[in-house]
Structure 1
Amino acid sequence: MDRRTQGAVILSLLIIVSVAPGVVSTSGTSIQAADPTVLDSCTVVTEPGSYVLDADIETATAGVCIEIRADDVVFDGQNNLLDGLRPPTQAGLTIGIRVTNATNVTVRNVRLAEWDDGIAFDNSSNGVVSGLVAEETGAAISATNSTNVSVGESSLRDGGVAISFDQVRGGEIADVFARNNSISGITLDQSRRVAIRNVTAIANTSFGPMFFRRRPAALGIGISDSRNVTVTGVNVTENIGGVSMTNTTDSEITDCTASRNGFGIRLVRSSDETLDGCTLTENDLGLAVVQSRRVNVTEFTVESNELGIDLFVSENVSVAESTVTDSSRVGLVVERADYNEFRDVTVEGTTAESALDGISAGILLDNATRNEFTNAAVSDNENWAVFAVQGGTNVFEQSVFGTMRFSFRLRNVALDAADAESAPENDPVESVVPLEVAATQPDSVLNVTLREPLGAANETVTSDETETPDSEGDTEAEETTTTESGPDTERETTDTSNG
């Protein structure tokens, strides 16, 4: 065969491959004929190719209706229905479509109802689901011990779990609507490198009491024992719990909205997490960080929750550039939590409609030590701006209370901004320090550095007397003193009690 003939043969082969329709495998060779295989009943797929469902399959009695055991398969339901029997009439799970030990399988445009599992991937890779509508199904989509599984553009409702990933390595869940599922919207367990984006999870609830620091019965999105998970652009509304991460690391939640849930976002025993740009409104608890460390929270808007933010037994948590407003119990709780940092945080408008352990305040420091607040703004909170009890020393640097900017160190002290009009009329000083202080423990300490009132200059500032119980249980009044170093310098005030 001369070179001209060889070139003609090669060119002909290239033309044939380029125009041949069908699915192409990863090797680049054609693996199917032009026309898809038409299915009208439950079956087992053992060959690569394209398959279409051309009619509904109703009240299927098979344990598994469509079983896919081949690589490089596309199953298109053409919006037809696979309807099972639930509860099943036989022992074992009923499954609408099962993909087992297969690679490059796509399932799209199908409706599923009344299965234990709608679509199940087991020990498979590169699976894709899109255009699924599932109702009254135990788990609409599940993937177990699989790699690179992607779910998109699906509506999953009125079942048990919308999507369940267990031991999945790599994948994406995007543009999914999960509503009214009794267990959870989306769950990830022992998985890594999974992205969840543009998901709406609404009214995934079940009966039973909800406790802030225990795993609830139903979640919008629940992630456990996983790492490198990203959650972005999600909306979780009216679930028992919004977004929960338990035993996770190196993960993030960004640009999310959580409203009218038992809690908006909760982290439990997690580390090295990033939370950014979320809005939490009208939840029982906005943000909970429990037994976690190295968590960075930035640009959060936490509004009209019972409790705004709760740090419990956590350390090295940073909350920055965030606002906590109109909480009905406490705005910010730091309980048994040490070495945390709060920067440019606003806590205002706590209404004290109810109390937490008998306390209502903008900021509650309960058995907390060495937490630092920088440039905090605390105002218009009923009862107390800051209530510290049973703890060590905490520091506020250049923080605004009412009309004054203070830097202070406190231990077991409650304080609040007072009205300037509360100064005695015959007081020879121009004004008093607009601050109310009370001891919460016998060893209370408050060291204060004052700056000028906001919007004013060159005013003399002093403070009221503070009553502090002594170690014998009596009350000892100590006068707070002020030293002034000049019109442009800070004025230092120190108030210490016994101990």
Structure 2
Amino acid sequence: MVVVEKRRAVADIVEHPRAFVLVAVALVGLAGCGLSPAPEGAATDAQGPQPVDSCTTITEPGRYALTGDIADSEADTCIRIRSDDVVLAGRDHRVDGVGAFGTAGVVVRPDGGGPLENVTVRNVTVTGWDDGVRYVRVVDGAVVGTTTADNRVGLSLLNARDNRVADNVARDNRLRGVSLLEASANNTVVNNTAIDNALFGIHVVEGGARNNTLAGNTASNNEFGIAVVGAHGNTVTGNTAAGNRIAGVWLVAARDNRVARNAVSDQFYGVFLSDRSGGNAVADNVAASNAVGIRLRSSDGNRIADNTVRSSGDTAVLLISSDDNAVVGNVGSDNARGISVVRSAGNSLANNSISVSESGPGSGES
């Protein structure tokens, strides 16, 4: 029977060659258009992301997308992500709470002891929570293009490593805009805007928060623009801090950090090192129109080099109870005072050219 069927098939081809060619061409064309069946269990782009229209817990890998706003939620946590390899796309929708203590809008956190990997949250607005977006023990993830507003804390990473925090807006939060806490290390915080937060714009705290890079961010109209508290080995570079009430960049009990090429203006202190901050490099920054351009208090062994300090209402560079610092190669003009050293010893002042305004009390060149 098999031989007979084969012969019939060959005969059909011989008798109707044109029909056979047309069918063959059509099948090849369909295969070329990507319409061949997908392997069993494989996801395809045609399937699209899984819709999310209410508070939920995500426990499987995949792509998810908000389909609308979630408003006035009274949930303890609205969206929980508990799986590796997840993308949550907000599509510019809002996850909104009622401001209750202890609540959170979006939390990415493993159920077990190990970390979560490769989780991205993007393009969502999170408002009205105790914590807006929180990553806990997440590695190789990303938070991109979110807005966190009117929370206690906007966006925070805890014990999170090798994540990218980029192009987010954190504004009008009651405590902090963006925070890296505990052992959060090797993260990149880039091109974010932290504005009008009650205390900190961008905040890196605790000894385990190491080797993070803060670059190209804007921190304005906060109490402190960028604060590095008890954290070591971080890089703060190319940021703009303007109009913060106390300091543009503040290091407290922080060691071996690099603060470079930042623009700090219109606050009480441009760059402020305090309370046993040592071994830090403050270089190539522009401090303009602050009361004090660069201030050290109880901070030893730092290098303050090649900064431009101008239009300081009180003092360009001020050292108080700070020993063994190198203040070299700094320039500036139109400051009320140049370099002042008070109750300090062993400091090296060399090759600075910081002039004072004509109405200033004295020369600052050294």
Q: Per residue, is there more helix in 1 or in 2?
A: 2
The CA deviation at 1:305 is 0.8
Query: Could you tell me which of 341, 348, 356 is aligned with 1:365?
Result: 341
The one of the two structures with greater contact order (alpha-carbon pairs below 8 A, sep at least 6) is 2
Q: Unaligned 5+ residue runs, structure 1?
A: 1-14, 104-121, 206-217, 352-360, 387-398, 401-499
Matched, 1:385 2:366: no
The CA deviation at 1:128 is 0.9
Cross-structure match for 2:116? 124
The amino acid that maps onto 2:341 is L
Q: Give CA-to-partner distance per residue, 1:71-116, whole Å, 9 cap, x none.
A: 444444444444444438xxxx44444444279xxxxxxxxxxxxx
- Structure 1 residues 370 and 62: alpha-carbon distance in aligned structure 2, compared to 1, 3 A threshold: closer
Question: What is the rounded CA distance, in whole Å, between the counterparts of 1:41 and 1:256 in structure 2?
Answer: 37
Give the alignment of 1:472-491 within 5 angstroms: none
Question: What is the rounded CA distance, in whole Å, between the counterparts of 1:244 and 1:199 in structure 2?
Answer: 15
Q: Give CA-to-partner distance per residue, 1:197-252, whole Å, 9 cap, x none.
A: 111111112xxxxxxxxxxxx01111112110111111111111111111122111
Cross-structure match for 1:221? 202
Question: What is the rounded CA distance, in whole Å, between the counterparts of 1:228 and 1:21 in structure 2?
Answer: 47
Matched, 1:167 2:159: yes
Query: What secondary structure does 1:293 align onto?
Result: coil
Query: What secondary structure does 1:294 align onto?
Result: coil
- Structure 1 residues 97 and 271: alpha-carbon distance in aligned structure 2, compared to 1, 3 A threshold: closer
Cross-structure match for 1:236? 219
Question: What is the rounded CA distance, in whole Å, between the counterparts of 1:258 and 1:34 in structure 2?
Answer: 45
Query: What secondary structure does 2:345 align onto?
Result: coil
Matched, 1:315 2:307: no
Question: What is the rounded CA distance, in whole Å, between the counterparts of 2:363 and 2:167 in structure 1?
Answer: 42
- Structure 1 residues 128 and 312: alpha-carbon distance in aligned structure 2, compared to 1, 3 A threshold: same
Query: Could you tell me which of 110, 121, 128 is aligned with 1:101?
Result: 110
The CA deviation at 1:304 is 1.3
Q: What is the root-mean-square deviation of aligned Cα atoms in Å? A: 3.0
Corresponding pairs, count = 325
The amino acid that maps onto 2:134 is S
Cross-structure match for 1:151? 143
Query: Could you tell me which of 60, 75, 100 is aligned with 1:87?
Result: 100
Question: What is the rounded CA distance, in whole Å, between the counterparts of 1:365 and 1:337 in structure 2?
Answer: 8
Cross-structure match for 2:67? 54
Cross-structure match for 1:30? 42
Note if contact 1:264-1:286 (Cα within 8 Å) is conserved in structure 2: yes
Matched, 1:192 2:185: yes
Note if contact 2:188-2:214 (Cα within 8 Å) is conserved in structure 1: yes
The amino acid that maps onto 1:221 is I
Cross-structure match for 2:277? 292
Q: Give CA-to-partner distance per residue, 1:372-417, whole Å, 9 cap, x none.
A: 222222433511335xxxxxxxxxxxx66xxxxxxxxxxxxxxxxx
The amino acid that maps onto 1:135 is T
Question: What is the rounded CA distance, in whole Å, between the counterparts of 1:377 and 1:76 in structure 2?
Answer: 52
Matched, 1:254 2:237: yes
- Structure 1 residues 194 and 19: alpha-carbon distance in aligned structure 2, compared to 1, 3 A threshold: farther
Note if contact 1:301-1:323 (Cα within 8 Å) is conserved in structure 2: yes
Note if contact 1:334-1:365 (Cα within 8 Å) is conserved in structure 2: yes
The CA deviation at 1:347 is 4.5
Query: What secondary structure does 1:231 align onto?
Result: strand
The amino acid that maps onto 1:364 is S
Question: What is the rounded CA distance, in whole Å, between the counterparts of 1:188 and 1:374 in structure 2?
Answer: 36
Matched, 1:280 2:264: yes
Note if contact 2:179-2:204 (Cα within 8 Å) is conserved in structure 1: yes
Question: What is the rounded CA distance, in whole Å, between the counterparts of 1:325 and 1:76 in structure 2?
Answer: 45
Question: What is the rounded CA distance, in whole Å, between the counterparts of 2:310 and 2:297 in structure 1?
Answer: 20
Note if contact 2:104-2:130 (Cα within 8 Å) is conserved in structure 1: no
The CA deviation at 1:20 is 8.2
- Structure 1 residues 384 and 147: alpha-carbon distance in aligned structure 2, compared to 1, 3 A threshold: same
Cross-structure match for 2:326? 341
Query: What secondary structure does 2:324 align onto?
Result: coil
Question: What is the rounded CA distance, in whole Å, between the counterparts of 2:88 and 2:37 in structure 1?
Answer: 16
- Structure 1 residues 19 and 268: alpha-carbon distance in aligned structure 2, compared to 1, 3 A threshold: farther
The CA deviation at 1:33 is 9.2
The CA deviation at 1:59 is 3.9
The amino acid that maps onto 1:245 is V
Q: Unaligned 5+ residue runs, structure 2?
A: 1-30
Q: Give CA-to-partner distance per residue, 1:144-180, whole Å, 9 cap, x none.
A: 2332331111222222222111111221211112222
Question: What is the rounded CA distance, in whole Å, between the counterparts of 2:35 and 2:300 in structure 1?
Answer: 62
The amino acid that maps onto 2:220 is T
- Structure 1 residues 66 and 194: alpha-carbon distance in aligned structure 2, compared to 1, 3 A threshold: closer
- Structure 1 residues 237 and 98: alpha-carbon distance in aligned structure 2, compared to 1, 3 A threshold: closer
The amino acid that maps onto 1:366 is V
Question: What is the rounded CA distance, in whole Å, between the counterparts of 1:98 and 1:268 in structure 2?
Answer: 29
Query: What secondary structure does 1:385 align onto?
Result: coil
Cross-structure match for 1:374? 350
- Structure 1 residues 198 and 21: alpha-carbon distance in aligned structure 2, compared to 1, 3 A threshold: farther
The CA deviation at 1:264 is 0.9
The amino acid that maps onto 1:278 is N
Q: Which structure is larger by alpha-carbon Rg, 1 or 2? A: 1
- Structure 1 residues 308 and 19: alpha-carbon distance in aligned structure 2, compared to 1, 3 A threshold: farther
